[in-house]
Amino acid sequence: MAENSIDFSLQLTMSDKGSDFRLDVSACLPGRGISAIFGASGSGKTTLLRCIAGLQPVDAGRVCVNGEVWQDDRFYLPTHRRPLGYVFQEASLFSHLSVAGNLDYAIRRADQACMGTDLAEAVDLLGLAPLMKRRPDELSGGERQRVAIARALLIRPKLLLMDEPLASLDQARKQEILPYLERLRHELAMPVLYVSHSRDEVARLADHLLMIEAGRVVANGPLVELLGRVDLPLTPGEPRGVVLEGKVAERDQAWQLSRVVVDGGDLWIRDNGDECGAAVRLHVHASDVSIALTPQRDSSILNSLQVRVSTITPDPGQMALCLVQLALGENYLLARITRRSAQQLGLTQGQMVWAQIKSVALVH
């Protein structure tokens, strides 16, 4: 893989019970960090991953990664020869082997000519030291997934594919494994393609976003930039929201709050123990942003920032509501308000207003 980017193109047609599904995707993604493949159910996310891995039979097509053809009309590179690791929704561990045995199996399969994660690094990265003697049936769902990720890393892939690795876990197990996935984002020197339909999950983990709909790319770019747009498709039931990146500037011990500086202003959030100067990531839901024409001094809301109205658009599927895109420095906020409120405030494009932010989630 290229050090700074990964390019892939797939033009594939798959037939299923008399109907054809066309996958036509070309994209350039960063050469390290987590790139989320995001879209509604049936959009082609998992199919895309399986085609890259060589696990999806197709009638006709072409798969090319960084200029190297993995499949076309005359050639097919078997899955076991593709330099990638794959983590499925369900951790498919060998039930008769301990955690150590499962990891040893991956080490024996690894391409020794490639640089990559060694056993000690994988065990430390995913917190597996206390689990090494256990068998899979003695592990929680989150622990099994951590072992599956370590096993995928130990074959020394140049590309890691993760297909909704949290989908089979309950909320408690998801919270258990998320910090380990965040470590992957910070510490792995390889690209990770991460399939998800959860905006909250994507906001916490991804650096880059590839959005697909009906087998085609509808957006491709940095996460912070794309989540601030109002024209992109939304998975039913998923909340709109943006991600802001900033640094902790102050910790107020008396009130257990931290002040985070983002481009365009400061935000007070609940103190999570991050030291001053620490880089943090904030998730702000559109439903937690209200709009005022003047600063509100007699309000319980701590965060009030001056912003500029960028776009006002109807909220798809919510006839009474609209989405207002608000420019905050180089960032954007989104506010979901009623159309009646927008009319009463007389909101127009370019107008300066005050965004009142009721809640800010720290997602690192």
Residues shown for the chain: 364
Same fold, 5-236 and 242-362: no
Q: What is the mean pLDDT of the chain?
A: 88
According to DSSP H, which parts of the chain are helical? 45-53, 99-109, 119-125, 141-154, 171-187, 199-205, 223-227, 339-345
- Residues whose CB falls within 8 Å of the CB of residue 67, separated by 6 or more in sequence, listed in order: 7
Position 112 scores a pLDDT of 64
Position 13 scores a pLDDT of 75
Confidence of residue 118 (pLDDT cuts 50, 70, 90): confident
Ranges 80-94, 154-168, 253-267, most confident: 253-267
Q: At what angle do helices 171-187 and 141-154 cross, to 10 degrees?
A: 20
Class of domain 242-362: mainly beta
In the chain, what are the domain boundaries?
A: 5-236, 242-362
Q: The pTM is what?
A: 0.85
- Residues whose CB falls within 8 Å of the CB of residue 201, separated by 6 or more in sequence, listed in order: 166
- Residues whose CB falls within 8 Å of the CB of residue 19, separated by 6 or more in sequence, listed in order: none
pLDDT at 2 over 60: no
CA distance linking residue 41 with residue 214, whole number of Å = 10
pLDDT tens digit sequence for 309-320: 999 998 877 889
Domain 5-236 architecture: 3-Layer(aba) Sandwich (3.40)
Sign, CA torsion 35/36/42/43 = negative
The closest alpha carbon to 228, from 288, 285, 290, belongs to: 285
Is residue 188 a contact partner of residue 160, using CB atoms and an 8 Å limit?
Answer: yes
Position 234 scores a pLDDT of 61
Q: Which two three-digit tokens encode residue 296? A: 């509100």
Is residue 300 a contact partner of residue 290, using CB atoms and an 8 Å limit?
Answer: no
The closest alpha carbon to 355, from 340, 337, 335, 336, belongs to: 335
Is residue 335 a contact partner of residue 312, using CB atoms and an 8 Å limit?
Answer: no
pLDDT at 239 over 80: no
Is residue 258 a contact partner of residue 251, using CB atoms and an 8 Å limit?
Answer: yes
CA distance linking residue 285 with residue 333, whole number of Å = 9
